[in-house]
């Protein structure tokens, strides 16, 4: 059973890169080697592309396949970033580039789960994760968690998770800062989660898509920094949130090298490899992050406060991520929930239905406050307030 440190039977049945065993010999040859082993085109695309000339010249291989783990310059920049910003000590070989955090998560479920094995999913959770467990023939089950921590910050987490633990569980899905609730786990809370996961010898799938996106005095802590957690944690990051580049579909997994090597085999069978030009385009963004990183987050905090003020419903202020997530029950006033969602749409506001975040949240709604400019957000809050207050 793939408890830590084991991988799925599926993973073990896969062959890795065809050429892996010859890599040392290839490296020895360097530029002398004429590379006939990969099916690729030596010419750059002859049609118009909106790529700046200096970039094309600096990256003559932008159109070609790259190392299936990712390009060295980006892996190196990310290694520095993880060390400096997250106190995570992972070298280049311990980073795997993926087509977004979504892709990273399914690489992990496929790499870890054998049919019927269970994953504890702390909820509310990102709507597509349960399906990713099913993609691997696994069984996810929900444990309501993040909302509860707002109400009960000193919850005995180990006892609570023990109470919910089902037999056959091999992994825990953790997501802090949490989408949709905005909960950011404190060090004390994370220590309890970590100790509990280690006690049960679980893998921890740490979804850190909202890394860096925290407000007030809240700070994101990576669970892999806690004692004993480095080896059993797969830490997942993305370029879609603070980097504001969901359209590039890039993310990455940081983990101990045996896990990265195992997960690469899965990735190769899902994608062959990540986008070369996509990776090349964001290297500078990682390197220069200190010069631009904070502005958007500070702005989001302002928008958050403005939205809460305008709505004036006494909602919980999210500690991180960029969503308001709340129960609509006080505002239904005899309306059905689906009717409310449709009323919002007819009133010019689209919101995400709560049930997709967990079965406990059938009457919640999620509102993203970073996807439209502030003036449009003000309009949306006016519309939404009117609909909710009836």
CB of 360 to a second copy, least distance (A): 17
Q: Is 306 exposed, middle or buried (0-12, 13-18, 19+ CB in 10 A)?
A: middle
List the beta bridge partners of residue 121. Answer: 142, 173
CB of 186 to a second copy, least distance (A): 23
Nearer to a second copy, 25 or 87 (CB): 25
Nearer to a second copy, 44 or 316 (CB): 44
Q: How far is CA 371 from CA 171, 288, 295, 318, 350, in A?
A: 32, 23, 15, 16, 11
Nearer to a second copy, 69 or 369 (CB): 369
CB of 295 to a second copy, least distance (A): 7
CB of 33 to a second copy, least distance (A): 6
CB of 164 to a second copy, least distance (A): 23
The sheet carrying 323-327 orders its strands as: 323-327, 364-368, 352-353
Three-state SS at 70? coil
Nearest CA-CA partner of 182 in 214, 221, 212: 214
CB of 45 to a second copy, least distance (A): 5
Nearer to a second copy, 121 or 224 (CB): 121
Nearer to a second copy, 262 or 370 (CB): 370
CB of 293 to a second copy, least distance (A): 9
What does the alpha-carbon distance between residue 222 and residue 228 come to, in Å, rounded to a whole number?
13
What does the alpha-carbon distance between residue 185 and residue 321 come to, in Å, rounded to a whole number?
12
User: CA dihedral defined by 267, 272, 278, 281, rounded to 10 degrees?
Assistant: 90
Nearer to a second copy, 260 or 281 (CB): 281
Q: How far is CA 57 from CA 24, 61, 218, in A?
A: 28, 9, 43
Q: What stretches of 69-128 show up as alpha helix (H) in DSSP?
A: 72-86, 100-112
Nearer to a second copy, 198 or 355 (CB): 355
Nearer to a second copy, 61 or 165 (CB): 61
Count other Cβ atoms within 10 Å, centred on residue 158: 15
What does the alpha-carbon distance between residue 158 and residue 169 come to, in Å, rounded to a whole number?
15
Three-state SS at 14? coil
Q: Which two tokens stand for residue 152?
A: 């009960």
CB of 175 to a second copy, least distance (A): 12
Q: Which residues contact 160 (CB under 8 A, 6 or more apart)?
A: 145, 148
């Amino acid at each position: 059973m793939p408890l830590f440190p084991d991988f799925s039977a599926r993973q073990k049945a896969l062959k890795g890169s065809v050429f892996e065993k010859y890599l040392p010999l290839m490296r020895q040859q360097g530029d002398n080697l004429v590379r006939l082993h990969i099916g690729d085109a030596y010419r750059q695309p002859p049609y118009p592309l909106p790529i700046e000339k200096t970039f094309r010249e600096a990256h003559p291989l932008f159109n070609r396949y790259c190392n299936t783990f990712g390009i060295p310059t980006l892996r190196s920049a990310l290694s520095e970033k993880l060390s400096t910003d997250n106190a995570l000590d992972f070298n280049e070989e311990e980073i795997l580039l993926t087509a977004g955090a979504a892709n990273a998560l399914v690489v992990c479920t496929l790499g870890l789960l054998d049919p019927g094995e269970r994953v504890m999913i702390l909820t509310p959770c990102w709507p597509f994760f349960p399906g990713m467990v099913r993609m691997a023939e696994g069984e996810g089950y929900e444990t309501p968690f993040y909302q509860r921590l707002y109400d009960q910050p000193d919850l005995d987490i180990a006892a609570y998770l023990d109470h919910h633990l089902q037999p056959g569980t091999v992994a825990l899905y953790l997501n802090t800062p949490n989408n949709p609730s905005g909960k950011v786990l404190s060090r004390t809370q994370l220590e309890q989660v970590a100790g509990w996961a280690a006690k049960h010898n679980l893998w921890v799938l740490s979804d850190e898509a909202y890394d860096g996106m925290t407000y007030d005095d809240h700070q994101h802590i990576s669970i892999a920094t806690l004692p004993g957690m480095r080896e059993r944690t797969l830490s997942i990051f993305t370029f879609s949130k603070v980097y504001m580049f969901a359209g590039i579909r890039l993310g990455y997994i940081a983990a101990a090298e045996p896990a990265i090597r195992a997960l690469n085999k899965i990735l190769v069978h899902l994608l062959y490899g990540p986008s070369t030009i996509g990776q090349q385009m964001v290297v500078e963004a990682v390197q220069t992050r200190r010069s631009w990183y904070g502005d958007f987050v500070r702005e989001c905090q302002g928008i958050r406060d403005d939205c809460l003020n305008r709505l004036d419903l006494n909602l919980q202020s999210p500690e991180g991520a960029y969503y308001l997530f709340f129960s609509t029950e006080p505002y239904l006033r005899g309306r059905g929930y689906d009717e409310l969602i449709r009323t919002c749409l007819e009133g010019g506001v689209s919101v995400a239905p709560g049930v997709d975040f967990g079965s406990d949240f059938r009457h919640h709604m999620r509102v993203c406050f970073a996807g439209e400019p502030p003036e449009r957000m003000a309009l949306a809050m006016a519309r939404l307030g009117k609909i909710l207050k009836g």
